[in-house]
Amino acid sequence: MNKISCIRNADWVIAWDERIQNHCYLRQADVVFQGANILFIGRQYKGPTDIELNGAKRCVMPGLVDIHSHPSLESAYRGIREEHGVPEMYMTGLYERSFSFWPDDRGLLASAEVAYCELLKSGVTSLCDLSNPYPGWIDLLARSGLRGFVAPGFASAQWRLEDRHRLLYSWDEQRGRREFESCLKLIEEAERHASGRLSGVVYPRQIDTCTQDLLRESAALARDRRLPLVTHASQSVNEFLVMVERHGKTPVQWAHEIGFLGPNCTLGHAIFLDEHSWLHWATCDDIRLLAETGTTVAHCPSPFARYGQVLEHFGKYRRAGINLGIGTDVAPHNILEEMRLAAVLARIAAQDINSVNTAEILYAATVGGAKALLRNDIGRLAEGCKADLVIIDLEDPWMQPARDPLRGIIYTAAERAVRDVYIDGVQVVKNHRVLTLNYAKALGQLTEAQQRMEAAVPGRDYAGRTALMIAPLSLPMG
């Protein structure tokens, strides 16, 4: 029999209010869970308990839901990606970086382990992990304790460069078909995993690297199996122009035409929609199409902000009826920092402090993400939901004075105040330390893996350049 745990008399609880369909604050409240599920949220629980936890000077909030992350890659780009962009490609460094920098299998594992630790330490309990399959992935994700939504990628083409201004494609439709079949087997493996915390996501990698047939088949399979469906779309000006050249319409409009969009579909980024100021396009239909089809947008502000790009804008998308979630498409994998940046950049893009509020950002990082993953039992603290909990230390200096804990954690403290994390009622972070993985060891392995990756760059780069030629250090050597 699973033991009953009670966080007694917490100073603050961010609970789910069914009447308003949103989160609310409770003061001096109890949070009770047994095994994987929440039994009680409220004041003065009088039922039996096996474990009593003191909630004084604590805020209990729902575990955060990260719906777009590439853990096996992004940690390896530390010190490389932060200022790497290509002006001739409308500022994005995506294509040059992915062409020239790629970790080996050991590097992918080390990068993922570092990322999982950072995600847990910033309060993420559910993760949509978009990765190219690599050995040991499923076992590592299960060992982390995260609620993992496994999204193995497949595509009909790979990006290719011959210079700094043209995005080219190497097409191999048969390879894409083989990858598709292999990824389905990996999803089934995840769903059978003994942990019970893993499930699958259908992930054709990019709207521009998959054939129409592969995208349509992916969408049909996801609908038939009731699985989430995700791809990257409208993530760069380059991609927008390529899709217009191919089809005479925007990526979103073409995705709608072929039946790809829908309530189970998430588009990664969806920044460069037809009305974005960088594009000067003739239509203003993309936002409406996303809203009408119930498609989710996974918003990851950091990587684009580093290029000087911004979604225009969070408040407009939300008020149009688009479901939004938050992702960590960059290192550090800190969803609280992404939430802060999402709020600030939305106000800059809108030139309006009221364009988005903190409650809307929390909603996106919890319930909005859960909706994208077709779940109504995560991202909220309510009876019957999963016991995915984050405990914030209100005695942490960065949280004081704790007048409004949610503002404190997003705008000031971030991961520094995340003290404890539970997933399925099992503690995975205790007093700021990840219990399931070895963060320090993984960082050492990542350092070695990055050195191997950089050494291999001249053999991968179209011009035979070194890593330092592509991404110089921030200061000259003396």
What is the DSSP secondary-structure string of 377-412? SSSS--TTSB--EEEEETTSGGG-S-SSHHHIIIII
User: Quick one: 92 and 184 in the same domain?
Assistant: yes
CA nearest neighbour of 272 among 243, 234, 314, 299: 234
Residues 6+ apart with CB under 8 A from 100: 457, 460, 461, 462, 465, 467, 470
Distance CA 205, CA 192 (A): 24
User: Quick one: 347 and 324 in the same domain?
Assistant: yes
Tell me the CATH number at 49.
Answer: 2.30.40.10
- The predicted model scores a pTM of 0.97
Beta strands in 91-146 (DSSP E): 124-131
Residues 6+ apart with CB under 8 A from 129: 69, 70, 71, 72, 112, 141, 148, 149, 150, 151
Distance CA 58, CA 393 (A): 5
Task: Evaluate whether residue 185 is within a structural domain.
Answer: yes
11's torsion region: left (phi>0), alpha (psi -120 to 50) or beta?
alpha
Residues 6+ apart with CB under 8 A from 251: 207, 208, 233, 234, 239, 240, 243
User: Quick one: 104 and 183 in the same domain?
Assistant: yes
Task: Evaluate whether residue 440 is within a structural domain.
Answer: no
What does the DSSP 8-state code read for residue 364? I
Tokens 């859960």 found at:
370
User: Quick one: 105 and 200 in the same domain?
Assistant: yes
User: Quick one: 308 and 399 in the same domain?
Assistant: no
User: Quick one: 40 and 70 in the same domain?
Assistant: no
Tokens 């995915």 found at:
388
Task: Evaluate whether residue 320 is within a structural domain.
Answer: yes
Distance CA 193, CA 139 (A): 9
User: Quick one: 164 and 202 in the same domain?
Assistant: yes
- Three-state DSSP state, 438: coil
Tokens 């050494």 found at:
455
**Would you list the DSSP string of 157-171?**
EEEE-SSSS--EEEE
Question: Tokens representing 452?
Answer: 């191997």
| pLDDT attached to residue 240 | 98
Residues 6+ apart with CB under 8 A from 184: 221
Residues 6+ apart with CB under 8 A from 225: 202
Range of the domain at 132: 64-372
User: Quick one: 42 and 104 in the same domain?
Assistant: no
Task: Evaluate whether residue 170 is within a structural domain.
Answer: yes
Whether 58 and 394 have beta carbons less than 8 Å apart is answered as yes
Within a 13 Å sphere around the CA of 129, how many CA atoms are in the beta-carbon half? 36
Whether 361 and 410 have beta carbons less than 8 Å apart is answered as yes
User: Quick one: 161 and 47 in the same domain?
Assistant: no
| pLDDT attached to residue 2 | 87
Tell me the CATH number at 234.
Answer: 3.20.20.140
Total domains in the fold of the chain: 2
Q: Which of 372, 403, 424 is the last residue of a domain?
A: 372
Distance CA 232, CA 252 (A): 11
| pLDDT attached to residue 364 | 98
Task: Evaluate whether residue 461 is within a structural domain.
Answer: no
Measured in whole angstroms, the distance separating CA 5 from the mean position of its chain's CA atoms is 30
User: Quick one: 25 and 101 in the same domain?
Assistant: no
- Three-state DSSP state, 428: strand
User: Quick one: 345 and 419 in the same domain?
Assistant: no
pLDDT (tens place) for every residue of the chain, 478 residues total:
789 999 999 999 999 999 999 999 999 999 999 999 999 999 999 999 999 999 999 999 999 999 999 999 999 999 999 999 999 999 999 999 999 999 999 999 999 999 999 999 999 999 999 999 999 999 999 999 999 999 999 999 999 999 999 999 999 999 999 999 999 999 999 999 999 999 999 999 999 999 999 999 999 999 999 999 999 999 999 999 999 999 999 999 999 999 999 999 999 999 999 999 999 999 999 999 999 999 999 999 999 999 999 999 999 999 999 999 999 999 999 999 999 999 999 999 999 999 999 999 999 999 999 999 999 999 999 999 999 999 999 999 999 999 999 999 999 999 999 999 999 999 999 999 999 999 999 999 999 999 999 999 999 999 999 999 999 999 999 9
Task: Evaluate whether residue 285 is within a structural domain.
Answer: yes
User: Quick one: 273 and 308 in the same domain?
Assistant: yes
